[in-house]
Every structure is written in C-alpha cells, then in structure tokens.
C-alpha cells in the first residue's frame, strides 16, 4: 500500500470559517486513523485579512509541517495568489472558478512587498497579473486543477433542498470547499459527515444544514472529477488517540496537576489557554467534592502576576499565562516572588518581538529575557517544552519545581505549539507526580520562621491561614522571620541561601528532564522548544538516505545544565544551533557554558515556524560543506 503523507492547505479571509473548515478536515482524517499535524497562521486582525491552515496528514508519526502543498483549497482569490506557487508539481488546486479574472490590484489585502514579488514572478513567466495567470503558471508545472463554482454548488443545493434561503448562505462556502476537497481525496462521506457534526455539535440546526451542504459538495466532486492521485486511505486507528491543540495541553495539564488559580490579561497567543480553563472551571475529583479553578481576568499583567503570588501564598497552586509584552510588565513582581521564595508558574507563550512585533506570529525571542527578567539576583527556573505532548506533562513538572525549590518557574511555550493541532497519545494523568516540597499542613509550636536557614537552603513553607504558621514577606531584604533587615551579614547569608537552590535544582531534576538526547554523532544539533518537531522529522528524512545527525534538546535553560549537556555532546564534533530568533539566544548560552563553540546556525525569524523541509535542506548544505556559518530560513506565507 502506498504510504500517505499529504499537506492540505485552506485559506480565506479571517472570519470566513477557515479554521472551522480545517477542523472538519483534521477531524475527518483523524477519524480515518491518520496522523495530523496542522498549524494556523493569521494576521493581527478580526475580519478580512488572509488566514490559512496547513494540515499535514500521514499514516506515520509526523511532528511538523513540510514546505510544499499537496492540495490547496481556496475559496477566495488571495489564497491562490499567496500559496499557489508552493503547490507541488504533482499537487492540486481546488479553487473558485468565478474568481479567475481577479487582478492582483483588486485584492486590497495583498500588501505591496508581496505583490511586487508576485508580479515579478508572473511577468518573468509572461503571465497576466490575475488568478488565471497564477493558475496558468501552476498548470505549466503540471499541477492538477479543480475549478469549482462554489456559489453554483450553493445555488444547486438551494434548488435541490427547495430552500431558496440557502442560495445566499455564503457562510457555508468553507464547508463546501472542504467537502469538495475530501470528495477528491476519496475519504468516506460518513467520516466527513461525522466530523461536520462534531465541529458544529453545539448548534444542531446549523450542523444539519452544513451536513447537507457537505454531502452535496462531496458527491458533486466525486462525480464530476476523477479522484486525485494522492487519495486518502483509512488505516487502523490507534486506540487512545486525541486531537489536541497546544494551549489545551497546558490547560489540561494545569487542571490535572492541581493548579486551582489562574489570572491573566488577554494577549495572543496565551489567552486561549485561560479561556479554556474558564470553560472547564469545574471538574470531578476522585473520592471528593467537585473541584474548581478560579480564573480571573485582570486589569493588566502586573495585576495578573500579583494575584498569582497572593493566591500562591495561601498554598494554592497558581499560575498565569502570558506572552512577551505581558511578561515584560511582570518583571518587577517576578523578583518579589524570587526574594520571597513564592512558588509560581508563568506559562510564557512566546511570539515575535520586540515590542508588539508580529503579535500573531511565532518566535522564540524571549529566552534571554526569561532568564534575566527582573532586577537583582534571584533564582528562577526556565523550562521549555518541545511539543504538545511534552507540554502536558511538563506543566505538572513545572508546578513541582516551583514548590520543591520555592521559586518562580517560567514555562516556555510559543505560538507554534499553542496553535498547532495534532493527533497524539491520550494524556495519562497517572504519569504525573505531584510533589509539594516543604509545604506544611500543620505547625505545632509558635516558633515558625518562614526563611529559616536550612542545610539545603529550602525553608519549610507555611501558608496564609495555617495556625502557628504566621510569617512576614517583604520585597526588602529580610531576616529569617521575613522582617526587613539591612544587616550586611544577614544579607550575604540570605543571598547565598536563595542562590544555593540553583545547585539543588541541577542535582535534583532528573538528567533526562534537563536535556534529551536523540542520539549524538559527529554532526549534532542543539536546540530547544518547538523546533523539536521539524528537527526530528528532518533527521528522519536524512536517515532514509543513510545519514545520521545527532540532536540534543535542552529543556532546562536556567539554571543551565552545563555538566549534563557537556557529557551528552562528548561524541560531537560539529555543533549546529537551530532556533527561531535572530540573535541565536540559545547559542549564546552554549558558547558561554560549553567547551565547544557552535559551528553552524540555522535561524528563522520571519514569524513563521520552521518546516522539516527547510531544516533538511539546511542540514544537507552543512553536510555538503556548502553552508554559510549562519543560514536564515524564510519559507512560509
């Protein structure tokens, strides 16, 4: 049997149901037992700008997107202008046949820099600056074309259903487009209808109408056109598979590991997680009353972190989720949590900075900021997840770290993970351990000192409301009771007490949680965060050619696990740093802490995540000794 690995892209104006269409597609494919990896790209805009969803579908494990498109589905002109050139020569385009006369100048959302690159391309091939020109360009390359009048389908449907209102239900064009494409891909209609029903499950009437449209469009395509050569075939469904987005994974992780307070200020791409938590604020607890998470939308991020600290002082596992601009506002309070040894978790969904940057786009620009945010010296943990599944389990670990070591933990996520939808193994809460460190439930006598000097630097922790456990906190330097102290000897003892916890972190956190080795060879990649997926997929592509490249994923970034990474890299001769920022922030850590220096850099800061294709190509150049020291990746609309 031919193996399946296709990339299906749907695009359209924001607010036109692109995401819904993609969810129907992904749900249908997942229902056939196929693996899904989808990413969403959108502008900082509510309605009208171009957004698209790229869904990769395979019968094998996939962890990233590829660069090229197998089937492009466009129900507007801009999607064709922006993506048609990325369609494989053996690929296909499903497009609205009524759009062919549209000129580049008529699409007001095509920005000038893109338009001039596009018209240069079209004129170099002697094509007119229209959709027809784009289509002709693709036709010359052998791309299969499926012109469809989507509005015509709607009109015919209205007639068949004897419901003239349907004629103007342009909101359903998305469902029509996805259904046509699934008709061409030969997926079973029952799977499609089930997926439509599930996507519209909260609105039964709308679900019914869309099912009719889906069914009609599917049959239309199946009858009118020969089946596309890369047809989808169902495979044995792996049991316990879920289709999940990144922000849901951390959200579920928080619920599972006992986070009971979350405050946030709306910011892309972090607030989806808080909204998810609020939607699931009440849940069952084994052998107990129902539990709940209090989710508070605050007036700003300063308030969000202040509330988290206050809640944590009551012994409640507490967190906030934010992105770079919000984290900037949290810096002062982070130091307060540091000096007062308050366990808090900040889930930091990075996006492209600086300032507002590319607010809806991916980036890993905040590693150095997370490590250094706040004035003064205080310990914190910076921990990065590599993919959706990791982020579920890591969320539990981050809360343990916060409580065991009594310090703020910054859990690094990013826009790529947050808005990726992927099939993965159903999360197993039994694999989570809850370790609350030295949190006290009872104190017998009244001599409690919150910051008592101890051998391991960690003092038993009381909480607001605990009898005999009264303590004081202050942002000033303090004595063991927590009262202000400017004594120079006490100052040194307290600074050393807090700093010593960083050594304990490195001694206590299991090595495999600090940095993960996927094999080491002469050439070895070192990377962090969501680059993991495209790197592993690229390495698999190379392996098929008999080439082995090593890969070390660093998860614990502060304190830096120098000894462990050094020992992992023993066999490596050439170090390749891969990350999604301009200044190679991880590399600066590697160059600081390791004996070896980074030899090659593969960086991307267009705001779009890396594809495995790009990484594969860059690695090949390095292996063939054709690479510059620094390669900058640029693929993606």
Partner 1 sequence: MEPKLSDYKTEVHNDWCPGCGDFGIVNAIQMALTEMKVPRHKAAIFSGIGCSGKTSHFINIFGIHTLHGRVLTFAQGAKLANPEMTIVVAGGDGDGLGIGAGHFVAAGRRNVDMAYIIFNNAVYGLTKGQASPTLQLGLKTKSLPQPNVNQSVNPIGLAIASGFTFVGRGYSYDVRQLKDLIIAAVKHKGLAFLDVLQPCPTYNDINTRDWFAGLDNIDQTTRKSQPRIYKLEDTGYDPVVHYGSEEEVNEKLTQALVKSNEWDTKIPTGIFYQNELVAPYEQRIADRIPNYLENPPAAQPISAGGKPITDISKILDSLQV
Please, which of residues 52-91 interact with partner 1 by CB under 8 A?
A: none
Site string for partner 1, 540-579 (x = CB under 8 A): ----------------------------------------
Q: At 411, which helix (H) or strand (E)?
A: strand 409-414
Rounded to a whole number of angstroms, the minimum distance from the CB of residue 307 to partner 1 is 3
Q: Which of residues 247-286 bind partner 1 (CB under 8 A)?
A: 248, 252, 255-258, 260-261, 263, 280-286
Q: Taking CB under 8 A as the rule, which mask of x and - marks residues 319-358 in contact with partner 1?
A: -------------xx--x----------------------
- Identify which of residues 12 and 408 has a Cβ nearer to partner 1 in the complex: 408
Q: Is 31 a residue that touches partner 1 (CB under 8 A)?
A: yes
The reply to whether 241 sits near partner 1 by the rule CB under 8 A is: yes
Task: By CB under 8 A, name the one of 123, 149, 168, 433 that touches partner 1.
Answer: 433
Q: Min. distance of Cβ 305 from partner 1 in angstroms?
A: 8
Cα distance between residue 329 and residue 607, in whole Å = 22
Site residues (CB under 8 A) for partner 1, limited to 180-199: none
**The Cα angle at residue 520 between residues 517 and 523, in degrees rounded to 5:** 130
We find the least distance from the C-beta atom of residue 300 to partner 1, in angstroms, to be 6
**CB distance 366 to 324 below 8 Å:** yes
Are the C-beta atoms of residues 125 and 110 closer than 8 Å to each other? no
Number of residues that bind partner 1 (CB under 8 A): 85
Q: Over 501-568, what HEC string results?
A: HHHHHHHHCCHHHHEEECCCCCEEEEECHHHHHHHHHHHHHHHHCCCCCEEEEECEEECCCHHHHHHH
Q: Using CB under 8 A, which residues numbered 464 to 483 contact partner 1?
A: 464-476, 482-483
CB 535, CB 578: distance < 8 Å:
yes
Dist. CA 394–CA 253, nearest whole Å: 8
**Smallest separation, CB 237 to partner 1 (Å):** 7
**Residue pair 215/193 in contact by the 8 Å Cβ criterion:** yes
Measured from the Cβ of residue 117, the count of other Cβ atoms closer than 10 Å reads 11
The closest alpha carbon to 383, from 398, 368, 393, belongs to 398
Distance of CA 500 to the CA centre of its chain: 33
**Segment contacting partner 1 by CB under 8 A, of 75-83, 212-220, 288-296, 493-501:** 288-296
Reduce the DSSP state of residue 420 to 3 states and report it. strand
Q: Is residue 521 a contact point for partner 1 (CB under 8 A)?
A: no
Q: How far is the CB of 418 from partner 1 (least distance, A)?
A: 16
How many other C-beta atoms are found inside a 10 Å radius of the C-beta of residue 554?
22
Task: Tell me which stretch binds partner 1 (CB under 8 A): 12-20, 44-52, 293-301, 544-552.
Answer: 293-301
Burial of 165 (0-12, 13-18, 19+ CB in 10 A): exposed
Least gap, CB of 534 to partner 1 (angstroms): 23
Nearer to partner 1, 442 or 544 (CB): 442
Residue closer to partner 1 by CB (options 243, 569) is: 243
Q: How far is the CB of 225 from partner 1 (least distance, A)?
A: 28
Burial annotation 489-520 (CB, 10 A radius, 16+ → b, else e): eeeebbeebbeebbebbbeebebebbbbbeeb
Smallest distance from the beta carbon of 276 to partner 1, in angstroms? Answer: 9
Rank residues 210 and 462 by Cβ distance to partner 1 and give the closer one. 462
CB of 530 to partner 1, least distance (A): 20
Shortest Cβ distance from residue 231 to partner 1 (Å)?
20
- 95-114: contacts with partner 1 (CB under 8 A): none
Q: Could you give the CA distance from residue 498 to residue 478 in angstroms, rounded to a whole number?
A: 12
Question: Which range, of 90-98, 157-165, 379-387, 461-469, touches partner 1 by CB under 8 A?
Answer: 461-469
């Amino acid at each position: 049997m031919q193996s399946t690995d296709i990339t299906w892209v749907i695009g359209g104006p924001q607010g036109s149901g692109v995401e819904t269409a993609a969810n129907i597609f992904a749900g249908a494919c997942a229902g056939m037992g196929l693996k899904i990896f989808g990413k969403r790209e959108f502008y900082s805009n509510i309605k009208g700008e171009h957004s698209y969803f790229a869904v990769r579908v395979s019968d094998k494990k996939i962890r990233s997107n590829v660069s090229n498109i197998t089937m492009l589905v466009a129900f507007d002109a801009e999607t064709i202008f922006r993506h048609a050139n990325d369609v494989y020569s053996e690929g296909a385009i499903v497009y609205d046949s009524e759009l062919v006369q549209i000129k580049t100048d008529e699409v007001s959302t095509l920005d000038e820099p893109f338009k001039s690159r596009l018209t240069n391309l079209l004129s170099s091939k002697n094509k007119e600056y229209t959709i027809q020109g784009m289509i002709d360009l693709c036709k010359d390359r052998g791309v299969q074309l499926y012109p469809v009048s989507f509005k015509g389908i709607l009109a015919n449907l209205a007639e068949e259903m004897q419901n003239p209102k349907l004629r103007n239900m342009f909101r359903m064009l998305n469902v029509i487009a996805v259904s046509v494409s699934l008709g061409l891909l030969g997926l079973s209609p029952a799977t499609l209808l089930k997926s439509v029903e599930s996507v519209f499950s909260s609105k039964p009437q709308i679900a019914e109408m869309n099912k009719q449209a889906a069914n009609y469009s599917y049959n239309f395509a199946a009858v009118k056109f020969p089946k596309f050569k890369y047809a989808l075939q169902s495979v044995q469904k792996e049991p316990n598979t879920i289709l999940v987005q990144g922000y849901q994974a951390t959200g579920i992780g928080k619920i599972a590991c006992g986070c009971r307070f979350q405050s946030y200020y709306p910011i892309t791409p972090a607030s989806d997680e808080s909204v998810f938590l609020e939607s699931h604020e009440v849940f069952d607890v084994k052998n107990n009353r129902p539990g709940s998470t209090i989710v508070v939308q605050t007036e700003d991020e300063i308030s969000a972190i202040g509330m988290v600290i206050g809640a944590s002082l009551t012994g409640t596992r507490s967190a906030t989720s934010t992105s770079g601009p919000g984290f900037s506002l949290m810096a002062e309070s982070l130091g307060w949590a540091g000096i007062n040894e308050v366990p808090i978790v900040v889930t930091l969904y990075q996006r492209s900075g600086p300032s507002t940057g590319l607010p809806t786009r991916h980036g890993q620009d905040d590693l150095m900021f997370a490590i250094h945010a706040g004035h003064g010296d205080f310990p914190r943990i910076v921990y990065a997840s590599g993919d959706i599944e990791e982020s579920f389990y890591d969320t539990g670990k981050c809360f343990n770290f916060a409580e065991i070591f009594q310090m703020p933990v910054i859990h690094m996520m990013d826009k790529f993970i947050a808005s990726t939808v992927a099939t993965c193994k159903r999360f197993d809460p039994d694999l989570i351990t809850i370790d609350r460190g030295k949190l006290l439930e009872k104190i017998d006598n009244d001599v409690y000192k919150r910051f008592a000097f101890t051998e391991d630097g960690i003092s038993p922790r009381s909480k607001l409301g605990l009898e005999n456990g009264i303590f004081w906190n202050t942002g000033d330097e303090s004595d063991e009771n927590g009262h202000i102290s400017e004594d120079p000897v006490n100052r040194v003892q307290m600074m050393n007490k807090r700093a010593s916890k960083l050594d304990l972190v490195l001694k206590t956190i299991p090595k495999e949680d600090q940095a993960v080795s996927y094999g080491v060879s002469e050439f070895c990649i070192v990377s962090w965060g969501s680059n993991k997926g495209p790197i592993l997929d690229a390495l698999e592509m190379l392996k098929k050619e008999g080439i082995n490249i090593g890969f070390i994923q660093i998860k614990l970034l502060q304190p830096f696990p120098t000894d462990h990474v050094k020992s992992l890299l023993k066999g490596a001769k050439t170090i390749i740093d891969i990350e999604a920022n301009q200044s190679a922030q991880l590399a600066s850590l590697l160059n600081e802490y390791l004996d070896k220096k980074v030899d090659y850099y593969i960086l991307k800061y267009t705001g779009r995540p890396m594809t495995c294709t790009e990484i594969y190509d860059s690695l090949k150049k390095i292996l063939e000794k054709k690479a510059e020291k620094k390669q900058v990746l640029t693929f993606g609309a």
